[in-house]
Amino acid sequence: MGADERGVDEVVDATATALAGGDPARWPDKLPVRDRIAVLVDPGSFVEDGLLATAARDGALPADGVITGVGRIEGRPVAVIAHDFTVKAGSWGELTCEKQIRILERADRDLLPVVYLVDSAGGRLTDQMGFFPGRRGASAIFQLQVKLSGRVPQLCCLHGPSAAGGAYMPAFCDWVGMVEGNASMYLASPRVAEKVTGERTTLEEMGGALMHAEVSGCGDEVFDEDWQAIAAARLLLSYLPDDFRSAPARATSREPERDDWDGLVPVDPNTAYDVRDVVDRLVDAGTFFEIKARWAQEMVTGLARLDGRVVGIVANQPMVRSGAIFVDSADKATRFMSLCDAFNVPLVFLQDVPGFMVGVEVERAGIIRHGAKMITAMASAEVPKYSVVLRKAYAAGFYAMCAPGFEPRATLALPTATIGPMGAQASVNAVYANKIAAIGDDDERAAFVAARTAEQQADINLLRMASELVVDAVVEPARLRAELVARMVDADRWTRSTGRRHHPISPV
């Protein structure tokens, strides 16, 4: 056999080894990495780069533990980074980083959405000079992720660990779907944490999928199986454009799932109801894609279609903590509005808010600072905005949910709406506290409070608000969808005031 033939055989053997990857039997509860890619992209569309990385080196590792390339999702080209946990636990070495950098550079050059299938134990400590300090190491990956933020969608399916510095790869993405029981994000393992802090914990408690989806807010949704997370990423991409210069694709309009509005929004401002029931009656059937559903549940955020158009929904949730805005819910809304504004998605605000939460605990947690972030994100969003007051809209919560001063295209109200600095009874108690306390007779005190409450209610009466042009239209619930659709048609010619990327999407 000649040298040329031996060379060909070496390439053939190396290719077969790289395609085979590691031993999948070690991880029977995980979908093999190439099967994950097959679920993600259209059949036969994936074009891989760097398959033979490290193949000529001593101790060659199949594809150096990461698969990179470009495939298509519903015909749209997307860049893919997929870690192979069967190869050194998907850890990053010199060429692992180089492959990821190169595909991200291509995504930056060609404005390709990026899907990350993350399953990595972090940096390869046996190759510290390769992944850690240099110009083409992990820091360059993060630099490119930040550079891409707000320019193209970046979606992450977290199938296993994302450890140490590598935990920032999901954190820089626009959406993170985590597989329960396998996925985790943490800066240090429980063993390291115990050595440093003396704290004893478990991986699930410190960095598991449910913890991040319910407590930290770093995860957007939790799934039982690998394929479910990937299917959700495919679906989410259908709501987003290819890049910041484009609008999301229109789809065929569908009537809402339900149209029975009678009594849905209670007149009593203290009666709870599920704002998702309102959403179901507004948007096209089956199109609401909720984001961060398990975290800060007093705020509901998600993408949907309204007469085929993609819209972003920001809604107070009266059935959870009365719909008041807390630190986490302010951050949740901030990030979602930033995402929508970056990718040209109009925003619909559904207001039923008693205001920002008050008290020592939230003040110490920085409610003013977090509220300012939310208001800044809302005020700086250039996309068309529509504000709907379902019931109560009080105090600075009214502002944060897009009050008229923040230039929504329209402020609409249901007949159940009330707008004011606070509820009438609370206002009376604040203004006349000393006078009320000084009245000794119970009947006289009750009559005084009732009279003053009636005065306050007249001042924040819905007819008064419409008369003073605070509200552009009072709409019966059954007509709210049609009203929004008609007003969105008028905004179809909207374009951004600048052709540049407006902003990155700031992590929570």
Contacts 24+ apart (CB under 8 A), 471-474: 471/389, 471/411, 471/412, 471/413, 471/417, 471/419, 472/410, 472/411, 472/412, 473/410, 473/412, 473/413, 474/412, 474/413, 474/414, 474/415, 474/417
Q: Residue ranges of the domains in the chain?
A: 14-239, 275-423+460-493
Provide CB contacts within 8 A for 190, sequence distance 6+: 200, 201, 202, 203, 206
> Given this model, what pLDDT does residue 375 score?
96
Contact predicate 269/418, CB 8 Å: yes
User: How many CB atoms within 10 Å of residue 428?
Assistant: 23
User: How much is the pLDDT for 455?
Assistant: 64
14-239 architecture in CATH? Alpha-Beta Complex (3.90)
On whether the CB atoms of residues 374 and 347 are closer than 8 A, the answer is no
In 3D, which of 309, 250, 256 has the Cα closest to residue 284? 256
Q: Characterise 474 by phi-psi region: left (phi > 0), alpha (psi -120 to 50), beta (else).
A: beta
Please classify residue 29 by burial: count the beta carbons closer than 10 Å to its beta carbon, then call 0-12 exposed, 13-18 middle and 19+ buried.
exposed
- Give the DSSP letter of residue 123: B
- pLDDT for position 6: 61
Report the CATH superfamily, name and number, of domain 275-423+460-493. 2-enoyl-CoA Hydratase; Chain A, domain 1 (3.90.226.10)
- Give the per-residue pLDDT at 419: 93
d(CA 338, CA 343): 9
- What does each of the 508 residues of the chain score in pLDDT, given as a tens digit? 555 666 677 898 889 888 988 888 877 789 999 999 999 999 999 999 999 988 888 888 999 999 999 999 999 999 999 999 999 999 999 999 999 999 999 999 999 999 999 999 989 988 888 788 889 999 999 999 999 999 999 999 999 999 888 899 999 999 999 999 999 999 888 888 878 888 888 888 889 999 999 999 999 999 999 999 999 999 999 999 999 999 999 999 999 999 999 999 999 999 999 999 999 999 999 999 999 999 999 999 999 999 999 999 999 999 999 999 999 999 999 999 999 999 999 999 999 999 999 999 999 999 999 999 999 999 999 999 999 999 999 999 999 999 999 999 999 999 999 998 766 566 656 666 677 777 877 777 777 776 676 666 666 788 888 889 999 999 999 999 999 999 999 898 898 887 666 677 777 6
Per-residue pLDDT tens over the stretch 206-226: 899 999 999 999 999 999 999
Place of tokens 């779907």: 177
Alpha-carbon gap, residue 368 to 362, rounded angstroms: 9
Provide the CB-side half-sphere exposure for 170 (13 A, CA).
34
Angle between helices 94-110 and 138-148 (to 10 degrees): 20
Residues in the chain: 508
Amino acid 68 reads T
Which pLDDT does position 185 carry in this prediction? 94
Sign of CA dihedral 403, 405, 409, 412: positive
Distance of CA 383 to the CA centre of its chain: 17
Contact yes or no for 502/150 (Cβ under 8 A):
yes
pLDDT for position 274? 98
Residue 10, pLDDT score: 87
Q: What is the value of pTM for the model shown?
A: 0.93
Q: Label residues 213-230 b or e (16+ Cβ within 10 Å = b).
A: bbeebbbbbbbebbbbbb
* Alpha carbons 124 and 460: distance in angstroms, whole number: 63
Residue 198 vs residues 195, 202, 205, 211: alpha-carbon distances, Å: 6, 13, 15, 21
Rounded to the nearest 5°, which phi and psi values hold at 239? -90, -10
| pLDDT tens digits for range 83-137 | 999 999 999 999 999 999 999 999 999 999 999 999 999 899 888 887 888 899 9
**Residue of 350, 332, 237 lying closest to 291 (CA atoms):** 332
Which of 252, 234, 259 has its CA nearest to residue 305? 252
Q: Do domains 14-239 and 275-423+460-493 have the same CATH topology?
A: yes
pLDDT confidence of residue 421: 79
